[in-house]
């Protein structure tokens, strides 16, 4: 059982933080700890997403018909949908019960199936956020059970969530995550402060270092990547308390960094932008040193405001391959905040995270074929936007590179390209000199085929969205969400054979009429064969798996003829 004094400290601090900020209109005379339970759910979002108290409070969903879910928050920076269940144990003892875990898992499963029927207004208000997390690339569902007990749940209690994770995740992608936060986690976080200013790092060695004195003191130089890996190992996301972003995991950019660290660690410095630390204070040791070759520093109140992806990538690789990581060095800047006001600190953080970044797809603008396609499409009275920063302002007369590369992947005869478009869209344009990009964008790419593929894709998306709202079968609803590229592949395989497909712009009414009938058949048949072949697999993973998609394709070919 948690120390009663410590439990009281946590309760008082939680009450101070959330008093007047938690909606208690449905329980005006709370005597059973509902306030603390709701505040604890909001506090879980602060711990995992870095939200302010006022921001976290509005995402509480606890109440009647809450599906066993006390808070839902879509973090678009981390690309995570947080689903929280909270339990306030006044005595600070125990853990999660079997019934509590079962109820929570049922709620999480309903979210995964986008089945919110009968839930309260606060849950229903999250339907758009849930839809984004389920349909947009790269998002994960992060289930969190937070409680003030002093024990972690045993394997038997965790069995329902582990089974759901096993069903939802596979070797291709991890969609569902789970964490348990107990009293110790809560107390430690509160003791260190929301901004984790308790992080102090001694004996930091900078090589080839320099100093800037005005308008405020900062130091710069290089540091061993192994040192950065140690920091991430010891402090994790607490390093990023002031950052706009936490570590995002296996994104295309982060995978690229890992590749360099593994294959060319000595060149990592030249390819990477480095990291930036804000420090409550900086003390330089060995002041009598007469050289800038090496400097020894003590950092107090450390927070990393730029380079979360670099740090997280180094840290995750360091755990398994420390020797390789130690061969790399990283550019670092550390800023002393001892004489800096809060407004300036905030400005440094914001601007450090909003500078323009070049993504792999931006290099497509260098491909002459893109300009050829743009020129040809002007004769069809369409603008083709392929340069970074171009935004669609008129859907009637504009298409984008992002749309085009996906549509062409789904048009390709090899369904493997469709799978890439669903599971790893960045890989389509990762290298403009190689496949898959060259298989889709080349001299023979027909501008009308590109345009018509995009128009069919837009219509298919709308039809699937409409159908999703009216189906009664949860598996069929999930097919509408997750099989969109797979279904588009069959639509384009059929319509791409029309003689006008490569010759002119297909009339939108004609597209709409043909897509509606095809979508109905394809959703029905895909659901049927999916349940026959993979009854235990979560649909999101099925359609990111080439082997499974090829099996489904073979089945569909027996009933759908070209």
Q: Is the predicted pLDDT of residue 520 greater than 90, yes or no?
A: yes
Q: Is the dihedral of CA 168, 170, 176, 179 positive or negative?
A: positive
Query: Could you tell me if 448 and 480 lie in one domain?
Result: yes
C-alpha–C-alpha distance, residues 136 and 126, integer Å:
15
- Per-residue confidence (pLDDT) for residue 303, from 0 to 100: 83
Query: Could you tell me if 343 and 367 lie in one domain?
Result: no
- Per-residue confidence (pLDDT) for residue 287, from 0 to 100: 61
- Per-residue confidence (pLDDT) for residue 192, from 0 to 100: 62
Instruction: Specify the range with the lowest mean pLDDT, choosing from 149-153, 216-220, 296-300, 363-367.
Output: 363-367
C-alpha–C-alpha distance, residues 408 and 411, integer Å:
5
Report residue 250's pLDDT band, with 50, 70 and 90 as the boundaries: low
Query: Could you tell me if 209 and 179 lie in one domain?
Result: no
Asked whether residue 374 is assigned to any structural domain, the reply reads yes
Asked whether residue 247 is assigned to any structural domain, the reply reads yes
Query: Could you tell me if 346 and 374 lie in one domain?
Result: no
Q: In this structure, are residues 300 and 247 in contact, taking their beta carbons and an 8 Å threshold?
A: no
Query: Could you tell me if 310 and 329 lie in one domain?
Result: yes
End of a domain among 192, 213, 247? 192
End of a domain among 145, 174, 192? 192
Report residue 22's pLDDT band, with 50, 70 and 90 as the boundaries: very high
Q: In this structure, are residues 72 and 131 in contact, taking their beta carbons and an 8 Å threshold?
A: no
pTM for this structure?
Answer: 0.71
User: Cα(first)–Cα(last) distance of the chain, in Å?
Assistant: 68
Query: Could you tell me if 418 and 329 lie in one domain?
Result: no
Asked whether residue 525 is assigned to any structural domain, the reply reads yes
Mean of pLDDT values over 235-241 = 72
Q: Which residue has the higher pLDDT, 234 or 226?
A: 226
Q: Which residue has the higher pLDDT, 149 or 339?
A: 149
Look over the chain and give the mean of its residue pLDDT values, rounded to a whole number.
Answer: 89
Asked whether residue 229 is assigned to any structural domain, the reply reads yes
- Per-residue confidence (pLDDT) for residue 128, from 0 to 100: 93
Q: Please identify which residue in the block is written with the tokens 């297909």.
A: 506
134-175 pLDDT per residue, tens: 988 878 999 999 999 999 999 999 999 999 999 999 877 889
- Report the share of the chain in percent with pLDDT over 70: 92
Report residue 330's pLDDT band, with 50, 70 and 90 as the boundaries: very high
Query: Could you tell me if 156 and 218 lie in one domain?
Result: no
Q: Residue 364: which domain range?
A: 360-557
Q: In this structure, are residues 304 and 275 in contact, taking their beta carbons and an 8 Å threshold?
A: yes
Query: Could you tell me if 186 and 231 lie in one domain?
Result: no
Residue 531: other Cβ atoms inside 10 A = 16
Query: Could you tell me if 50 and 121 lie in one domain?
Result: yes
Q: Is the predicted pLDDT of residue 365 greater than 60, yes or no?
A: yes
Write the Ramachandran bin of 381: left for phi over 0, alpha for psi from -120 to 50, otherwise beta: left
Q: Which residue has the higher pLDDT, 103 or 353?
A: 103
End of a domain among 144, 159, 192? 192
Query: Could you tell me if 347 and 364 lie in one domain?
Result: no
62-83 pLDDT per residue, tens: 999 999 999 999 988 778 899 9
- Per-residue confidence (pLDDT) for residue 561, from 0 to 100: 61
Asked whether residue 562 is assigned to any structural domain, the reply reads no
23-56 pLDDT per residue, tens: 999 888 876 689 999 999 999 998 888 788 888 9
C-alpha–C-alpha distance, residues 481 and 454, integer Å:
18
Classify each residue of 424-442 as buried b or exposed e, where b means 16 or more C-beta atoms within 10 Å of its C-beta: bbbbbbbebeeebbeebbe
- Per-residue confidence (pLDDT) for residue 78, from 0 to 100: 73
- Per-residue confidence (pLDDT) for residue 245, from 0 to 100: 61
Q: Is the predicted pLDDT of residue 540 greater than 70, yes or no?
A: yes
Asked whether residue 275 is assigned to any structural domain, the reply reads yes
- Per-residue confidence (pLDDT) for residue 44, from 0 to 100: 95
Query: Could you tell me if 341 and 459 lie in one domain?
Result: no
Q: Is the predicted pLDDT of residue 1 greater than 60, yes or no?
A: no
Report residue 99's pLDDT band, with 50, 70 and 90 as the boundaries: very high
- Per-residue confidence (pLDDT) for residue 372, from 0 to 100: 95
Report residue 4's pLDDT band, with 50, 70 and 90 as the boundaries: confident
- Per-residue confidence (pLDDT) for residue 195, from 0 to 100: 47
C-alpha–C-alpha distance, residues 363 and 369, integer Å:
12
Q: Which residue has the higher pLDDT, 437 or 78?
A: 437
Query: Could you tell me if 171 and 253 lie in one domain?
Result: no
Q: DSSP letters of 201-213?
A: EEEEEEEEEEEE-
How many domains is the chain partitioned into structurally?
A: 3
Beta strands 294-306 and 201-212, pairing class: antiparallel
Of residues 498, 496, 487, the one with CA closest to residue 553: 487
Report residue 378's pLDDT band, with 50, 70 and 90 as the boundaries: very high
Q: Which residue has the higher pLDDT, 52 or 442?
A: 442
- What Å distances lie between residue 342 and 217, 262, 336, CA to CA? 15, 39, 13
Asked whether residue 553 is assigned to any structural domain, the reply reads yes
Asked whether residue 24 is assigned to any structural domain, the reply reads yes
Q: Please identify which residue in the block is written with the tokens 């970044």.
A: 357
Report residue 431's pLDDT band, with 50, 70 and 90 as the boundaries: confident
């Amino acid at each position: 059982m948690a120390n009663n004094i410590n439990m009281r400290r946590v309760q008082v601090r939680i009450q101070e933080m959330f008093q007047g900020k938690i909606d208690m209109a449905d329980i005006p005379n709370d005597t059973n700890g509902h306030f603390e339970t709701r505040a604890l759910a909001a506090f879980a979002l602060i711990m995992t997403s870095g939200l302010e108290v006022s921001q976290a409070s509005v995402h509480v969903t606890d109440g009647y018909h809450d599906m066993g879910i006390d808070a839902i928050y879509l973090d678009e920076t981390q690309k995570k949908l947080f689903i929280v269940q909270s339990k306030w144990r006044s005595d600070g003892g125990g853990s999660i019960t079997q019934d509590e875990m079962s109820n929570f898992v049922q709620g999480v499963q309903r979210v995964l199936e986008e089945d919110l029927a009968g839930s309260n207004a606060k849950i229903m208000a999250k339907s758009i956020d849930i839809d984004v997390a389920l349909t947009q690339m790269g998002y994960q569902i992060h289930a969190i059970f937070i409680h003030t007990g002093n024990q972690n749940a045993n394997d038997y209690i965790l069995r329902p969530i582990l089974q759901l994770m096993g069903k939802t995740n596979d070797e291709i992608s991890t969609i569902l995550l789970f964490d348990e936060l107990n009293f110790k986690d809560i107390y430690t976080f509160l003791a260190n402060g929301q901004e984790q200013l308790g992080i102090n790092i001694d004996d930091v060695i900078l090589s080839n270092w320099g100093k800037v004195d005005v308008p405020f003191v900062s130091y710069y130089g290089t540091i061993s990547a192994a040192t950065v890996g140690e920091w991430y190992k010891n402090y994790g996301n607490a390093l990023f308390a002031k950052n706009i972003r936490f570590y995002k995991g296996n994104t295309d950019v982060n995978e690229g960094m890992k590749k360099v660290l593994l294959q060319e660690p000595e060149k990592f410095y030249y390819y990477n932008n480095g990291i930036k630390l804000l420090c409550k204070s900086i003390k330089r040791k060995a002041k009598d040193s007469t050289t800038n070759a090496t400097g020894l520093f003590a950092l107090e109140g450390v927070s990393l405001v730029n380079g979360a992806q670099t740090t997280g990538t180094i840290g995750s690789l360091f755990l398994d391959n420390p020797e390789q990581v130690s061969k790399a060095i990283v550019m670092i800047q550390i800023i002393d905040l001892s004489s800096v006001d809060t407004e300036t600190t905030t400005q440094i953080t914001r601007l450090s995270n909003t500078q323009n970044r070049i993504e792999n797809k931006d290099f497509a603008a260098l491909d002459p074929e893109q300009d050829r396609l743009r020129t040809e499409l002007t004769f069809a009275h369409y603008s083709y936007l392929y340069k970074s920063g171009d935004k669609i302002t008129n859907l009637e007369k504009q298409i984008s590179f992002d749309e085009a590369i996906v549509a062409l992947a789904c048009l390709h005869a090899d369904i493997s390209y469709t799978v890439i478009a669903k599971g790893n869209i960045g890989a389509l344009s990762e290298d403009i000199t190689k496949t898959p990009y060259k298989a889709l964008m080349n001299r023979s790419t027909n501008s009308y085929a590109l345009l018509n593929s995009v128009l069919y894709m837009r219509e298919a998306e709308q039809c699937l969205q409409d159908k999703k709202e009216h189906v009664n079968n949860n598996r069929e609803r999930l097919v509408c969400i997750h099989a969109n590229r797979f279904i588009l592949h069959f639509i384009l395989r059929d319509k791409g054979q029309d003689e006008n497909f490569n010759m002119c712009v297909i009339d939108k009414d004609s597209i709409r009429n043909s897509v509606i009938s095809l979508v109905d058949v394809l959703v029905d048949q895909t659901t049927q064969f999916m349940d026959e072949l993979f009854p235990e697999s979560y649909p999101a993973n099925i359609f990111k798996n080439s082997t499974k998609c090829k099996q489904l394709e073979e089945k569909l070919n027996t009933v759908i003829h070209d």
